[in-house]
Amino acid sequence: MTTPRPLVRPARVLAAALAAGTLFATAACSGSDSSASPEADASSTVAERGVAAQTTSPSASSPSASASPSDLSEEGARNALITPADIEDDWTQVRNPSEWRDSLLVGSVDVAAFVDGQSDTQDCQRLTDALFDETLLGKPTGASAVTGFQQGDSRLLYQVAAYDKADLDDSMQWLSELPDTCDQFTLTGGDAGERTVQVIETSLPQVGDNRQGLTVTVKGESNGDPVTLSLDVAVVQIGADAITVTNGGLEGADHDTTSAAVEQGTQRLQEVLAGRTPSPTPSGIN
């Protein structure tokens, strides 16, 4: 939510006008070109980042207060990825989760094809198109790294990436509106026929500068059998960087795993943005 800007008092307007007039006269007399100093530019940049960070984390010591998109290198993005120890249970890391966008066979159900369909609403279409993709927040403009895990009939896709800050802000706003704009809609087309999709908001750990949690449920038929796919979608923003989690399957979404991925993943990304390499997560975390 954008903080309302305070009203400018008439006295301040007059003072600003007088100051502007004085500067103009001084420049005219000296014939020199007045410009801001590098220190002033740096102060302005830090102030702007500080305002962005105050969504939930106003502390000036937050990594987002000094981090910029270029601070996240490809190596840093890889180091910020979670490991099986971060989410515990019996999750197994997969070799190439990027292939899930084309085909994700769970039992006899191709989950990727099951969510591939057409919606009458553009916002809802954007959501279903990106559920097993790396474009939920748009195309990264900087470093990006992806990993994936599987456990029984559940799959977890995890991404760390740098974005254009304004575009990322817009994507976070779009996600926050989905429980209203796409609370229930229909997917058509493909081999699965009509599917009913529901989107509800879910809570996440209070981490990062901004965050959004959703649970997406898709109900329909596959090979003549009823199918219900439940997915947690979780995003945490830190400045112009973000982590994205899609977790779930045909047996429901494990919200505890989603929360663990968010909490541990945010900590790892903050370590990277602070210039450190995250330590390996010990087994048996709480």
Tokens linked to 174: 């779009």
The DSSP secondary-structure symbol of 239 reads T
Residue-wise DSSP of 130-187: TTTSS-TT---SS-EEEEEEEETTEEEEEEEEE--HHHHHHHHHHHHHHHHHTSEEEE
Give me the pLDDT at residue 150, please. 93
The candidate with the shortest Cα–Cα distance to 238, out of 77, 30, 28, is 77
Give me the pLDDT at residue 282, please. 65
Please give the chain's pLDDT, 286 residues, in tens.
444 444 333 333 333 333 344 333 333 434 444 334 433 343 333 333 333 333 333 333 344 433 444 489 999 999 999 999 999 889 999 988 887 877 787 877 888 889 999 999 999 999 999 998 899 999 999 999 999 999 998 999 999 999 999 999 999 999 999 999 999 999 998 777 899 999 999 999 999 999 999 999 999 998 888 999 999 999 999 999 999 999 999 989 999 999 999 999 999 999 999 999 998 776 544 4
Task: Assess contact for 234 and 256: CB atoms under 8 A.
Answer: no
